[in-house]
Structure 1
Amino acid sequence: MFKITTLFFIIFISTFSSNKYKPKNIQEKITLNKYKHKILTVGLSDADLFQSKTNGQSLNLIIKDLLENYLDLKIKVKIDDWDDLYKEYKNNKIDILGNLTHSLKRTDHSVFSYPLFDQSLYIASNKIKLQNLEDLSNKNIYTVKDSIYNNYLNGLVSNKNININLISTNNKMNFKNQLILGPEKEIEKLKYKIKLISLPGLSIGLHKKYNDLLPIINNALNEKYLKEISNLFKEKKNNIYKENFYNSLTLDEKIYLKKLKPLNFAYEADQNIVYYSKEFNQYIGFIPLIIKEIQERSSIRFNIVNNNFKNLNEIYNAFLEEKVDILPLAKNKERNNLFEFTNQVDSVNLFEITNYKYDIKKIGVIQNSIEESIAQNYFLKNNIVLYNNYENLKKDLISHKIMSGFLFSREGLSSDKFKIKKMMEIPIYFSVHKDDIILKNILNKAIIHLLNLKDIKEKAKEDINYERFLKNENNKDKNKILLYLWSITSILFIIALFKIIFHKKMVKRLKKDPLTGLKNRIEFNSFNFNDIDLKGYAISIDINNLKDFNDKYGHIAGDNLILKISNFLKNTFNENYTFRITGDSFYIYLDNNNILFHLDKLIDHIRKFKKISGYFIHLNIGYFHIKNNETSLEKAFNYADMAMYESKKNLSLYYLEATDLLIKKKEREYTIKNLLREEKINEIFPVYQPKFSIKNNEIIGGEALARWITTDLGFISPAEFIPIAEKIKQIYLIDYKIAEETIKTIKKWKDLNLINKNFKLSFNISMETFEREDIVNTLTTLLDKYNISGEYIEIEITESILSSNLNKTLEKLKLIKNLNIQISIDDFTAGHSTATLLTCLPIDIVKFDKSILDIIVESNSYNHSIYKNLISLVKDLNLKIVAEGIETEYQLKFLKDNNIDIGQGYLFSKPIPSIDFENLLQKKRDE
Structure 2
Amino acid sequence: MFSSSLQCSTTDVILPGSKVFDEELSRFIADAEKNSGNFVLMLLDIDNLCYINDLSGRKTGDRIIDTAAAVLAGRKSDVIHVYKLEGNLFALIAENICKQPQVTGLCENMFIEFGRYRISISVGIAVYPEHDKSACALYRDADLALRYVKTNFKGNFCIYKPEMYTDFFTEIHIRKRMCDGLENKEFLLYYQPQFYTQDHRLRGFEALIRRYDTIDGLQNPDSFIPAAERTNLIGRIGSWVMENAVKNLLELQTDYSFTGKISINVSPKQLLSPLFLTQFKCLLRKYKVNPAQLEIEITESSFINDAVRAAAVLNALKKTGVTISIDDFGIGYSSLCNLSTMPVDTIKIDKSFIDTILQQNDMNNEIIKAVVGISQKAGIETIAEGVETTEQLDFLTNVSCSCIQGFIWGKPMPLKDCIMYL
TM bucket, shorter chain: 0.5 to 0.7
1:841 is displaced (CA, Å) by 4.3
- Given candidates 326, 339, 342, the residue that maps to 1:825 is 326
Within the alignment, does 1:891 sit opposite 2:392 as a pair?
yes
Within the alignment, does 1:606 sit opposite 2:108 as a pair?
no
Show the counterpart of 2:192: 689
Q: Within 5 A, what are the aligned runs for 1:741-752?
A: 741-752=244-255
1:732 is displaced (CA, Å) by 2.8
Within the alignment, does 1:858 sit opposite 2:356 as a pair?
no
Contact 2:298 2:325 in 1 (8 A): yes
- Greater gyration radius: 1
Distance in 2 between residues matched to 1:866 and 1:892, nearest whole Å: 16
Query: TM-score when scaled to structure 1?
Result: 0.33
Distance in 2 between residues matched to 1:892 and 1:623, nearest whole Å: 64
- Given candidates 844, 851, 866, the residue that maps to 2:345 is 844
1:884 is displaced (CA, Å) by 0.8
Distance in 2 between residues matched to 1:622 and 1:916, nearest whole Å: 61
SS across alignment from 1:557: coil
SS across alignment from 1:690: strand
Show the counterpart of 1:671: 173
Within the alignment, does 1:868 sit opposite 2:369 as a pair?
yes
1:871 is displaced (CA, Å) by 1.8
Show the counterpart of 2:210: 707
SS across alignment from 1:825: strand
Distance in 1 between residues matched to 2:202 and 2:160, nearest whole Å: 54
Within the alignment, does 1:735 sit opposite 2:238 as a pair?
yes
1:833 is displaced (CA, Å) by 3.4
Contact 1:693 1:903 in 2 (8 A): yes
1:823 is displaced (CA, Å) by 1.8
Q: Percent identity?
A: 23
Within the alignment, does 1:557 sit opposite 2:66 as a pair?
no
Distance in 2 between residues matched to 1:818 and 1:739, nearest whole Å: 18
Letter in 2 for 1:849: D
SS across alignment from 2:357: coil
Contact 2:81 2:92 in 1 (8 A): no
SS across alignment from 1:886: coil
1:882 is displaced (CA, Å) by 0.5
1:762 is displaced (CA, Å) by 0.7
| Change in 2 beyond 3 A, CA 1:905/1:583 | same
Distance in 2 between residues matched to 1:861 and 1:776, nearest whole Å: 42
SS across alignment from 1:890: helix
Letter in 2 for 1:670: I
Distance in 2 between residues matched to 1:873 and 1:683, nearest whole Å: 42
| Change in 2 beyond 3 A, CA 1:702/1:639 | farther
Contact 1:541 1:621 in 2 (8 A): yes
Show the counterpart of 1:798: 299
Distance in 1 between residues matched to 2:369 and 2:188, nearest whole Å: 37
1:886 is displaced (CA, Å) by 1.9
Q: 1:352-386 deviations in whole A, cap 9, x for unaligned?
A: xxxxxxxxxxxxxxxxxxxxxxxxxxxxxxxxxxx
Letter in 1 for 2:211: W
1:868 is displaced (CA, Å) by 1.4
RMSD: 5.0
| Change in 2 beyond 3 A, CA 1:653/1:765 | closer
SS across alignment from 2:301: helix
| Change in 2 beyond 3 A, CA 1:657/1:729 | closer
Letter in 1 for 2:91: G
Within the alignment, does 1:583 sit opposite 2:76 as a pair?
no
Show the counterpart of 2:283: 782
1:615 is displaced (CA, Å) by 5.9
Contact 2:124 2:146 in 1 (8 A): no
Name which structure has the greater RCO, CA cutoff 8 Å, separation 6+: 2
- Given candidates 13, 29, 32, the residue that maps to 1:518 is 29
Letter in 1 for 2:24: D
Distance in 2 between residues matched to 1:806 and 1:625, nearest whole Å: 41
SS across alignment from 2:378: coil
Letter in 2 for 1:513: E
Q: Which runs of 5+ in 2 are unaligned?
A: 1-8, 32-38, 48-67, 83-89, 109-122
Query: TM-score when scaled to structure 2?
Result: 0.66
1:898 is displaced (CA, Å) by 0.9
Show the counterpart of 1:205: none
Letter in 2 for 1:695: Q
Q: 1:237-279 deviations in whole A, cap 9, x for unaligned?
A: xxxxxxxxxxxxxxxxxxxxxxxxxxxxxxxxxxxxxxxxxxx
Q: 1:686-744 deviations in whole A, cap 9, x for unaligned?
A: 22122123335443311112223457997665335433443455433222211111111
Contact 1:541 1:644 in 2 (8 A): no
In the comparison of the two structures, how many residue pairs are matched?
A: 360
Show the counterpart of 2:42: 543
| Change in 2 beyond 3 A, CA 1:639/1:696 | farther
Distance in 1 between residues matched to 2:29 and 2:135, nearest whole Å: 19
Q: 1:560-617 deviations in whole A, cap 9, x for unaligned?
A: 56569xxxxxxxxxxxxxxxxx93589xxxxxxxxxxxxxxx99x4146459x67659
Contact 2:43 2:143 in 1 (8 A): no
1:875 is displaced (CA, Å) by 1.6
Distance in 2 between residues matched to 1:781 and 1:647, nearest whole Å: 36
